[in-house]
Amino acid sequence: MSQSENQETETQGPYAQFVSSAWCIFYGCGIIGCLVIYGVVQERIMSVPYGEEMFKISAFLVFCNRLVGLIYAMGMMTGKREQIYWQAPLWKYCTVAVSNVCATYCQYEALKYVSFPVQMLGKSFKMMPVMVWGIIISQKKYTLRDWCIAACITGGVTMFLMTGSIKSKHGAADQSWFGIVLLLIFLGCDGLTSTLQEKLFKDHTTSKYNQMFYINSCSACISLIVLIASNSLAKAIAFCGVHPLFIGHAVGLSAAAVAGQFFIYSQVKEFGALVFAATMNVRQVVSILISYAKYGHVITGLQILALVIVFGALSYKSGMGFFDGGSKKGASEKTPLLPNKNEADVEKAATKDEKAAEPVKA
């Protein structure tokens, strides 16, 4: 390289780093903003009455979200001129969809019985189910440090649940245990969904939009069948007619979820899984604080300590990932998912090298 080329590289270096940092912050703010809106609207729909009537048909929200998601995925596939046909056996997409619908349904239903901060904190607890499913399905191995971090998170969540009120604002205190059961089912199904999606990426050369389209399509069909079989579709439509405000909330919820997916995939694509993990830690803290401020939940001193323990462990996990950057695992997590414009070629190479990053969702 000539001296002039060296000087040009040195001149562009700081500017390129500034632009990269700006994009990282932009994607991070997009993730936090969209998912905070998603959480606030979700809690509004499921835990605050419309007039004197509560909305109780969670499957309708699942259907709306998946319908908007498949439209978005179809648009992206068309814009990128990707092939429309399925790139993996349909039964595999359906298996992921069943697990995904079950997880999302339980997530919404839980808000009828426990507060949003409990639900949000419970998502941190899913580290343990994901590790267990990874061992069972993908024969993964985890270090002692991973298990210790998972134990701290589990202990912190348990402490939070046992040291203060956890019920929904309009729920009965003696039904909170049912909300916890729903959260446990959600965590198990959500961890299974993530593991199955990762395996789908590794076993087949599916693009993220192809997978989004077919999983959302299957999920929409499943939730629609549930609505029709339970005779709830007409009731949900009637509720929309009586409470037009609910329509705006449902549309906003679906839009925030899809927009969040765009920012999530963009950040993981360009900056790696560790940056995304750190962003999600911030998102959880912001969402919980906003929920406490907006909906007036009560919190005890021991619950505050539990929050510190949980998010301290999560932050430690993210920090150790950066410090372990020299290791194979750390380097792969810090590597962008798709570092260049030729997405199809990169995805094929990642599959061959068995380094495909874990899929993510809102």
- Measuring CA to CA, which residue among 193, 190, 168 is closest to residue 179? 168
What pLDDT shows up at residue 352?
A: 41
- Supply angle C-alpha 97, 115, 183, rounded to 5: 35
Higher-confidence residue: 165 or 155? Answer: 155
Rounded mean pLDDT, 318-331: 59
- Predicted confidence (pLDDT) at residue 250 exceeds the cutoff of 90: yes
- Supply angle C-alpha 359, 360, 361, rounded to 5: 135
Higher-confidence residue: 10 or 269? Answer: 269
What pLDDT shows up at residue 321?
A: 65
The whole-model pTM stands at 0.70
What does 9-50 look like in DSSP terms, one character per residue? HHHHHHHHHHHHHHHHHHHHHHHHHHHHHHHHHHHHHHHS-B
Rounded mean pLDDT, 142-162: 82
What pLDDT shows up at residue 7?
A: 46
How many whole angstroms separate alpha carbon 357 and alpha carbon 12? Answer: 30
How many whole angstroms separate alpha carbon 220 and alpha carbon 135? Answer: 30
- Predicted confidence (pLDDT) at residue 359 exceeds the cutoff of 80: no
Distances (CA, A) of 204 to 87, 182, 269, 281, 351: 7, 32, 19, 31, 8
Rounded mean pLDDT, 43-65: 90
How many whole angstroms separate alpha carbon 132 and alpha carbon 145? Answer: 15
Name the average pLDDT for the chain. 78
Which of 194-203, 238-247, 267-276 has the least mean pLDDT? 267-276
How many whole angstroms separate alpha carbon 25 and alpha carbon 287? Answer: 18
Residue 258 Ramachandran class (φ > 0 left, ψ -120 to 50 alpha, else beta): alpha
Measured in degrees and rounded to the nearest 5, phi and psi for residue 95 equal -60, -45
Which of 167-181, 257-271, 296-310 has the least mean pLDDT? 167-181
Q: How many CB atoms lie within 10 A of CB 135?
A: 13
Cα end-to-end distance, the chain, whole Å: 45
How many whole angstroms separate alpha carbon 354 and alpha carbon 6? Answer: 35
How many whole angstroms separate alpha carbon 321 and alpha carbon 24? Answer: 18
Which of 11-15, 32-36, 308-312, 325-329 has the least mean pLDDT? 325-329
- Predicted confidence (pLDDT) at residue 119 exceeds the cutoff of 50: yes
Measured in degrees and rounded to the nearest 5, phi and psi for residue 282 equal -65, -40
Q: What is the CA radius of gyration of the chain?
A: 21
Under 8 Å between Cβ of 64 and 253:
yes
Which of 97-101, 268-272, 344-348 has the least mean pLDDT? 344-348
Contact residues for 253 (Cβ-Cβ < 8 A; gap 6+): 38, 41, 42, 45, 61, 64, 65
How many whole angstroms separate alpha carbon 197 and alpha carbon 214? Answer: 12
Under 8 Å between Cβ of 207 and 338:
no
- Measuring CA to CA, which residue among 71, 359, 84 is closest to residue 217? 71
- Predicted confidence (pLDDT) at residue 245 exceeds the cutoff of 50: yes
Rounded mean pLDDT, 337-358: 41
- Measuring CA to CA, which residue among 257, 113, 134, 95 is closest to residue 184? 113
Q: How far is CA 346 from the centre of its chain?
A: 24
What pLDDT shows up at residue 107?
A: 87
Grouping H, G, I as helix, E, B as strand and the rest as coil, residue 360 is coil
What pLDDT shows up at residue 88?
A: 84
How many whole angstroms separate alpha carbon 303 and alpha carbon 296? Answer: 15
How many whole angstroms separate alpha carbon 241 and alpha carbon 238? Answer: 5
What pLDDT shows up at residue 10?
A: 44
What pLDDT shows up at residue 67?
A: 92
What does 51-86 look like in DSSP terms, one character per residue? TTB----HHHHHHHHHHHHHHHHHHHHHHTT---S-
Rounded mean pLDDT, 335-358: 42
